[in-house]
């Protein structure tokens, strides 16, 4: 599949997409832009932009995916990684593996993220419990959990904005 090329728009940071672009190609382009926004070394200066980029990356999965946005001590992005894959309504998340990957990346902070294939972004009780478990596990190795973002087709919910972290 040949992808349409983005053409720079008149305003900085905007793009024009040619007319003959399919929905799948447009989603692929959006994911490429989201990956750029989460590129290594970028500072975490706009939480809204980061959450939208995470939503875009996990938008079209038909199963739950849990990932980590790993950050250095100045909250610059080290990398984004999808860590666990689940079923249509759950994913098994292992704190040991989260801590291991965080330490391998030498991260000082993380943003947890997972999708709800149903589109609903309201955190479940299980989401709240795993966030507490992960926060506790990461805190023991001096890694701060900045947020847990639940993404769906219609938006996202930020644990930090809701006062849950």
Matching CATH number, 43-158, of 3.60.21.10, 3.50.50.60, 3.40.140.10, 3.30.390.50:
3.40.140.10
DSSP letter for 43, please.
B
pTM for this model (two decimals) = 0.77
Is the Cβ–Cβ distance between 79 and 105 less than 8 Å? yes
Structure-block tokens of residue 145: 């959990």
pLDDT tens-digit series, residues 108-144:
999 999 999 998 899 999 999 999 999 999 999 999 9
What's the pLDDT at 41? 73
DSSP state string for 78-135: EEEEEEEE--SS-----HHHHHHHHHHTT-SEEEEEEE-TTS--SPPHHHHHHHHHHH
pLDDT tens-digit series, residues 66-125:
999 999 999 998 999 999 999 988 899 999 999 999 999 999 999 999 999 998 899 999
DSSP letter for 45, please.
-
Q: Which regions of the chain carry the CATH code 3.40.140.10? A: 43-158
């Amino acid at each position: 599949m040949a992808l349409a090329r983005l053409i720079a728009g008149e305003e900085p940071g905007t793009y024009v997409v040619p007319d003959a672009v399919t929905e799948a190609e447009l989603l692929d382009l959006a994911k490429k832009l989201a990956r750029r926004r989460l590129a290594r070394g970028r500072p975490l200066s706009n939480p809204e932009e980061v959450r939208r980029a995470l939503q875009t990356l996990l938008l079209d999965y038909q199963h739950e995916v849990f990932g980590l946005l790993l950050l250095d001590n100045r909250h610059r992005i080290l990398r984004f990684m999808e860590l666990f894959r689940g079923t249509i309504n759950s994913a098994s998340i292992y704190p040991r593996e989260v801590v291991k990957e965080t330490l391998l990346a030498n991260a000082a902070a993380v943003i947890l993220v997972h999708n709800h294939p149903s589109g609903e972004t309201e955190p479940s009780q299980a989401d709240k419990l795993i966030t507490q478990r992960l926060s506790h596990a990461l805190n023991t190795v001096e890694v701060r959990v900045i947020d847990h973002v639940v993404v769906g087709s219609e938006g996202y919910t930020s644990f930090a904005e809701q006062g849950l972290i």
